[in-house]
């Protein structure tokens, strides 16, 4: 556990201060790195403090006990599915455009009206995800649209019968009498009716 003539230093993979040269006497003990090191490697931990120096599997911390920045999960898990995984935040929808997330749940920090764990989609009723801005509110006409939702990219609202326009705010060609029930029409265009 302690090489050298005087046993003044702990062996590789152990830490302590056997002669008390840096304070009180502390016997050499095995480094604790949460199973997240290569046990065949040299210099896995500091010989005096025990701080782990070569954490693997996207882990970090004094004992390789937490996920490194940009990763989330359980650093102590033996199953790779539950170990530290990449945050994978959508750069357009996350607040800082970086790969930072909650270390336990993996939830990225989303811009206004952006949703999902990775901040990759607009909330219902919003569209047009823009980096650094978030999503725009759907501008659906309250009478002309079936609801307040629109297409996530184009902003096209779902129109009532005979109604047209991105916001469902006007009658289709050949229809009239705009209302919450839709527009009425004869099925003929105005040019046909004028003949």
All structural domains of the chain with their residue ranges: 1-84, 87-124, 138-180
- Given this model, what pLDDT does residue 91 score? 92
Instruction: Give the CATH number of domain 138-180; options: 2.60.40.10, 1.10.730.10, 1.10.10.10, 2.10.25.10.
Output: 2.10.25.10
Give pLDDT tens digits for 105-153. 999 999 999 999 999 999 999 999 999 899 999 999 999 999 999 999 9
pTM above 0.85, yes or no: no
Instruction: Report residues of the chain scoring pLDDT below 70.
Output: 1-7, 97-98, 187-195
- Given this model, what pLDDT does residue 195 score? 39
- How far apart are alpha carbons 47 and 17 in whole angstroms? 8
- Given this model, what pLDDT does residue 189 score? 52
Judge whether 148 and 128 are in contact, CB under 8 Å: no
Considering the domain delimited by 1-84, tell me its CATH architecture: Ribbon (2.10)
Collect all residues with Cβ–Cβ distance below 8 Å to 180 and sequence separation of at least 6: 142, 143, 144, 160
Dihedral of alpha carbons 82, 86, 91, 97, sign: positive
Which is nearest to 102 in space by CA: 134, 78, 70, 76?
70
Burial class (CB in 10 A: 0-12, 13-18, 19+), 10: buried
Helix spans in 44-128 (H): none
Instruction: Give the CATH number of domain 87-124; options: 2.170.150, 1.10.10, 2.10.25, 3.90.190.
Output: 2.10.25
- The answer to whether domain 1-84 and domain 138-180 are alike in fold is yes
- How far apart are alpha carbons 154 and 81 in whole angstroms? 36
């Amino acid at each position: 556990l302690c090489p050298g003539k005087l046993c003044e230093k702990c062996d590789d993979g152990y830490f302590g201060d056997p002669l008390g040269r840096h304070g009180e006497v502390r016997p050499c003990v095995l480094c604790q790195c949460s199973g997240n090191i290569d046990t065949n490697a040299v210099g896995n931990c500091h010989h005096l403090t025990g701080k782990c120096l070569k954490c693997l599997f996207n882990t970090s911390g004094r004992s390789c006990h937490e996920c490194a920045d940009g990763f989330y999960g359980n650093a102590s898990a033996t199953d790779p599915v539950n170990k530290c995984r990449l945050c994978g935040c959508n750069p357009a929808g996350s607040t800082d455009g970086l790969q930072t997330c909650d270390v336990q749940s993996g939830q990225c920090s989303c811009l206004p009206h952006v949703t999902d764990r990775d901040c990759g989609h607009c909330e219902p009723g919003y569209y047009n995800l823009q980096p650094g801005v978030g999503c725009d509110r759907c501008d659906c006409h309250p009478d002309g649209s079936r609801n307040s939702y629109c297409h996530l990219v184009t902003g096209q609202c779902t129109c009532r019968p005979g109604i047209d326009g991105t916001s469902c705010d006007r009658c289709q060609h050949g229809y009239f009498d705009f209302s919450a029930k839709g527009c009425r029409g004869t099925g003929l265009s105005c040019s046909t009716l004028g003949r």
